[in-house]
Structures are given as structure tokens and as C-alpha cells.
């Protein structure tokens, strides 16, 4: 799972196995260690949400996706989900959750579990 944060925008990208795990178990979680501190990021299916929502507490970013959307995500062609979450004082947090496609250029990272990039298919 990859995350990209810029200002009030958060994008999560999930590999094929992570999307499968999310659809089957309802949750996928990753962590990054900073010495004694651990930063965690998680995507979780929730029946109580209507759109993507996010929270941050205890060093964890949690993206919540409606259960109905996430249950079948592995088995359909939906690339991702996007939502502008309302914040206090008229601010918004842009949320994007999507399948991770292989890069068009060669990268040093392992992309074997990424989705095939549709731009590379003829």
C-alpha cells in the first residue's frame, strides 16, 4: 500500500493482493517504523459510512470505505473511489483510494503485485 499526502489531499494505492484482502477481510493495514514510534495507515470497510471518510488518531491514518463498495472491489473493474470530506471552518480533505497500476517507466520498486497498466495494453 502506498500513500501520498499533499496539503489537504490523501491518496492511497492498493496492490491486487491488498484489494483482495480488503474485500475478503474488511481491512488492510501497513506500518512504517521511526525508531520507537510507528506510523500506521489502514483502509477499512464500514457499513456506517456513505462515502470515503478519514480519521487520524494514535499515529494512524484510517480511510473508511462504504462496505458495499469495498466488498466487490476486487471482482470488478472499478479503479477507485474519490470524495471531498467536509472539515470544520469550510475546509475540505480530498480523499482518493485506488488500485495501484504498474508504472509506465521502469522503477526500482517491486511492481509484480500491481494491476496491469491499461495504457500498456493494446
Residue 27: which of 58, 3, 1 has the closest Cα?
1
According to the model, what pLDDT value does residue 74 have? 87
Spell out the per-residue pLDDT of the chain, length 122, in tens: 999 999 999 999 999 899 999 999 999 999 999 999 999 999 999 999 999 999 999 999 999 999 999 999 988 888 899 999 999 999 999 999 998 866 556 666 666 666 555 666 65
- The DSSP result for 67-116, as a single string, is HHHHHTGGGS---EEEEEEE-GGG-EEEEEEEEPBPPSS--SS--TTSBP
pTM of the model as a whole: 0.82
List C-alpha distances in Å: 26 to 11, 44, 69, 101, 102: 19, 6, 11, 22, 24
According to the model, what pLDDT value does residue 100 have? 81
According to the model, what pLDDT value does residue 114 have? 64
Q: What does the alpha-carbon distance between residue 61 and residue 10 come to, in Å, rounded to a whole number?
A: 10
Which phi and psi angles does 30 have, rounded to 5°?
Answer: -135, 160
With beta carbons less than 8 A apart as the criterion, state whether 3 and 41 touch: yes
According to the model, what pLDDT value does residue 77 have? 87
Domains of the chain: 2-101 (3.30.1360)
Q: Please report which helix (H) or strand (E) contains residue 6, including its range.
A: strand 2-6
Amino acid at each position: 500500500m502506498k500513500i501520498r499526502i499533499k496539503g489537504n489531499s490523501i491518496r492511497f494505492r492498493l496492490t491486487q493482493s491488498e484489494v483482495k484482502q480488503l474485500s475478503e477481510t474488511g481491512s488492510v493495514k501497513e506500518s512504517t517504523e521511526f525508531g520507537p514510534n510507528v506510523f500506521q495507515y489502514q483502509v477499512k470497510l464500514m457499513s456506517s459510512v456513505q462515502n470515503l471518510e478519514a480519521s487520524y488518531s494514535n499515529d494512524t491514518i484510517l480511510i473508511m470505505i462504504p462496505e458495499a463498495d469495498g466488498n466487490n472491489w476486487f471482482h470488478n473493474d472499478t479503479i477507485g473511489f474519490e470524495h471531498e470530506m467536509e472539515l470544520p471552518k469550510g475546509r475540505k480533505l480530498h480523499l482518493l483510494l485506488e488500485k495501484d497500476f504498474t508504472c509506465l517507466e521502469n522503477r526500482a520498486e517491486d511492481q509484480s503485485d500491481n494491476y496491469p497498466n491499461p495504457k500498456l495494453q493494446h
